[in-house]
Amino acid sequence: MLYWVRSLKGSWIARIFSVLLILVFIAWGASSALPLMTGGVNAVAHIGGKPVDLSIVQAEYQSELTKAEQTGVPDLAARRQIAQTALATVLRQQAMSLEEQAIGIAAPASAVRAKIYAIPTFQTNGVFDQAKFASVLQQNNLSQERFLALETDNLRANQLIPALISGVNAPQELVSQIFSFISQARTAEVVNIPVAGQPAPPQPSDAQLQRYWKNHPAQFTAPEYRTVKIVVLSPQVLAHNEPVSDTALQTLYARVAAQQSVPATRSVQVITSDSPATAAKLAALWKSGASWTKIQEAAKAAGASTVELDHAQSNQIPSPALEAAVFAATPDVVTGPVQGDLGTFVFRVTDAQAAGAPSLAALTPELKAQIQLQEAQDQVAKDVDNVQDALAGQTPLDQLPGNLDLAAVQGTLDANGNATDGTPAPIPGGDKLRAAIIKAIFAAHVGDPAQLVTGPDGGYFAFTLDSITPPAVKPYDEVKAQVAAAWTQDAQTREAEVKAADILHAVNTGKTLDQVASADGYSVAMSAPQTRMAQPNGMTSQMEQILFSLKPGQATMQQTGSGFMVAVLAKIDQPTLAQDPATVTQLQQSLTKSLQNDVAESFLGGLQARDKVSVDPKLFAQIYQ
C-alpha cells in the first residue's frame, strides 16, 4: 500500500493534482486580497472608478449629526437623510478632486498652511495657536487629516469654480422684467359692508329656531371626549431647570462664534442728484443742521432723490464709489458730495457695525437654551430604559417612581386638544409633541396597556385611556340662546352679502363706487398700495391676488372676517429702474448669485454623471443604523 502511494507521487495524476491544489490556494488568497487592492473593503461608493472610503463619509455624517442633535434626537429616517447628505457632499468633493487633478490644478502644502494659519479662530493674539487649532477641530468632530484634506480641496475648488462662474451675470432684460413684476403697486377704492352693522331681523319664532337647530347639527354638537392619564418625558419640559456653567457657555460660544462671523454693515441716509451743484447745495444745508425730514423735502424740490439703507453690506450699495465712501466715513457726519457712476451723492452714516461674530452677551440666551436642551436630552436618554422597565412591569401611571423626570397630567379632552370648558388641555411638551399625543389618544382603545411611545423633538409619552364620551347633539333647550344668536348672525350675513352684491353689480355696469356706496350710506376709502412681494395691507391675501387680475375700474367682492369688501382697482403704479436703484442692485445680485449657483450645480452634476457613481447599500446603511 505504502509502495503504491510512493509510486503515485511520481505519476502525472499526482503532479496535476498538486498543480490544481496550488492554483486553488492562490485563487483563495487572491479573492481575499482583491478588495484590499481595489479599495473595496471600506469603499462605501465608487466614483470614476475611484473608491470613496467609508470613514470619510462617516466623519461628514457625524459632523452633520452633531448639528442636528442640537434641536433634538433624529429618528432613523432623519439619520438616513443626514447620511445621504453626507455621502452627496463627499461625492461632490471627490468629483471635483478628480476634475482638478485631470486639468492640473494644484494646492501646494505651503499655500494650504498659510490659509489655515490665517484663520482667526485658530489664532491667539494674532498668531496661529496649535493647541487652539486642535481644540476647535475636536469640538467639531474633525481630525487634523480630514480638515487638511478639506482645506486642500477648498483651495483647489477656489481656483476652478470662480473661474467657471465669473462670466455668469443676470441679463438686464431678466432683471427688468422681474423688477417690473415685483415692484408694481396697485391701489383700490374699497367699501366695507360689516355684518354687525346690518339691522336685526324680526324675532324668529320657536319653530324657526328649532328648524335651524335641526338643519345645523354640527354647530350644536358636543365633540367626542376622552378621559386619559398621560406621562411625558421631554427634553423641552426638563430643559429650563438645567443649570449652565460659565465654562460650558464659553466653550459653545467659541464654536458658534467661528460659524457666525458676520460682514460689516452700514445704515446710511443718501441723497442722489444728477447735478453736482445741486448736491453741493443740499450738502451745505444738511451740514448746517437741517433734519433728515427737511433734507428729504429740499431734495425732492430740487429734483434729487433720497433713500435710506438699513444695515447694508458692501455689496448691497449700488455704486462702487458710494460703497467705498460710506465704509470709510465717520458715523453721524454728513459726507460729500461724492461723484459716482449713478450721480453725485451726499450721505450720512447712522449706524456702523464692524465685521465679526456677535458678542457673548448677545448670544447668551440662545447658547444657554442650547446647552440646557442638550443636558435635558442626555437626561431623557438615561431615563428611557427605566420608564420602559416600569411600564413593562405594568406599574400604573400614577404610581411610577418620582425620580424618572416624568411630567404627568390627567383629564378629559377632545380631538382638538381642548378640555370640556373649551380651553387647551395642559399637556406638557411642545406643540409637535402635544399634537402627537392627542393623535395617539384618539387612535387608542379603552383598556389598552400603557406603552412608551417615541414622539417628536426627542420626547416620549405613555397614556391610558379611561373612558370615551361619544359626540352628541346638545338638547335644543340647552342651546336655545346659541341657536337664536346663530340664526340672527346668518340673517345679517345674508343682508350684508346682498348689499355688497348690489354695489358690485352697479359698479360693473357703469356707475362709480362713490355714487353707489354713498346712496347706501357707506363711505369709500383708498387702500394702501399692494405689491406682489409684500404682505397684504388692509385686505385678505385672496383679495390682493384678485386685485392683480383686474383692469382699472373693474370691481370685485369678497367675504372678510367681519363682513364683505367691495374693491375697485383705482390705480396701477409701475416704478422705473432709475427710481429704485437699491432694489435693482439687490435683485441683480440675487439673480446673478442664483444663476451662478445653477451653473456650479450643473457642472458638479455633470461631473458625477460622467464619472458614474455606484454605492454599496449595505455599507451605506452601517453609517446611520
Q: Is the pLDDT of residue 3 over 60?
A: no
Answer with the residue of higher pLDDT: 226 or 19. Answer: 226
The stretch 438-458 carries a mean pLDDT of: 91
CATH architecture of 263-353: Roll (3.10)
Three-state SS for 237? helix
Which range, of 36-40, 93-97, 549-553, averages the lowest pLDDT? 36-40
Lowest mean pLDDT among 267-276, 358-367, 496-505: 358-367
pLDDT band of 97, cuts 50, 70, 90: confident
Residue ranges of the domains in the chain?
A: 2-38, 43-167+604-624, 185-220+476-573, 224-239+373-470, 263-353
Q: How far apart are CA 59 and CA 82, in angstroms?
A: 12
Q: What is the dihedral of CA 476, 482, 485, 489, to 10 degrees?
A: -100
Cα–Cα distance for residue pair 67/252, rounded to 1 Å: 12
Sequential DSSP letters for 520-535: TT---EEPPPEESSSP
The end-to-end CA distance of the chain, in Å, is 61
In the structure grid, which three cell numbers stand for residue 470, read together?
361619544
pLDDT, residue 475, reads: 94
| Strands of the 50-53 sheet, one edge to the other | 50-53, 43-47, 613-615
* Three-state SS at 301: helix
Q: Is it the case that residue 216 has pLDDT exceeding 60?
A: yes
Closest CA to 568 of 547, 549, 537: 547
Q: Do domains 224-239+373-470 and 263-353 have the same CATH topology?
A: yes
Q: Give the pLDDT mean for 428-454.
A: 92
- What is the predicted pLDDT for the residue at 73? 65
CA distance 614 to 603: 19
pLDDT at residue number 71: 66
For residues 170-196, average pLDDT: 94
Contact assessment for residue 411 and residue 228, using Cβ atoms and an 8 Å cutoff? yes
Q: Which helix (H) or strand (E) holds 83?
A: helix 76-103
- Kindly tell me if the per-residue pLDDT of 22 is higher than 50: no
Instruction: List pLDDT tens digits, range 55-65.
Output: 888 888 888 88
Which triple of cell numbers denotes residue 283? 450738502
Residue-wise pLDDT tens digits, 115-171: 888 888 888 877 888 888 888 888 777 788 888 888 888 888 788 888 888 888 999
Whether the Cβ atoms of residue 585 and residue 169 lie closer than 8 Å to each other:
no
Pick the CATH number of 224-239+373-470 from 1.10.287, 1.10.3470, 3.10.50, 1.10.8: 3.10.50
Q: Specify the pLDDT at position 27.
A: 37
Of 71-80, 323-332, 367-376, give the lowest mean pLDDT range.
Answer: 71-80
- The predicted pLDDT at position 92 comes to 86
Residue 369 pLDDT > 90? no
Residue 227 burial (CB count, 10 A): 17
Listed ranges 1-10, 336-345, 366-375, 497-506; the one with the highest mean pLDDT? 497-506
Q: Could you tell me which of 315, 314, 313, 323 has the C-alpha nearest to residue 270?
A: 323
Burial label, 343 (beta-carbon count in 10 A; 0-12, 13-18, 19+)? buried
Contacts by 4-8, CB closer than 8 A, 24 or more apart? none
pLDDT at 187: 96
Mean pLDDT, the chain, rounded, equals: 86
What average pLDDT does range 43-70 have in this prediction?
Answer: 85
Strand partners of residue 464 = 229
Of all residues in the chain, what percent carry a pLDDT higher than 90? Answer: 47
pLDDT at 9: 40
pTM of the model: 0.53
Collapsed DSSP state (helix, strand, coil) of residue 163: helix
pLDDT (0 to 100) of residue 79 = 86
Total length of the chain? 625
Residue 248 and residue 369 in contact, taking contact as beta carbons nearer than 8 Å: no
What pLDDT, in 10s, does the model give residues 505-562?
Answer: 999 999 999 999 999 999 999 999 999 988 999 999 999 999 999 999 999 999 999 9
**Tell me: the pLDDT tens digits for 560-574?**
999 999 999 999 999
CA distance 561 to 162: 53
Q: Minimum mean pLDDT among 32-46, 100-114, 237-251: which range?
A: 32-46
Q: Is 530 left (phi over 0), alpha (psi -120 to 50) or beta?
A: beta
Q: How far is Cα 144 from Cα 251, in angstroms, rounded to an integer?
A: 20
Rounded distance between C-alpha atoms, residue 547 and residue 535, angstroms: 14
Give yes or no for a contact between 175 and 588, defined as CB atoms under 8 angstroms apart: yes
Q: pLDDT tier at 423 (50, 70, 90 boundaries)?
A: very high
Confidence band (pLDDT; 50, 70, 90) for 623? confident
CA 581, 181, 597 angle in degrees (round to 5)?
75
List Cβ<8 Å contacts ≥24 apart for 172-176. 174/591, 175/577, 175/584, 175/587, 175/588, 175/591, 176/577
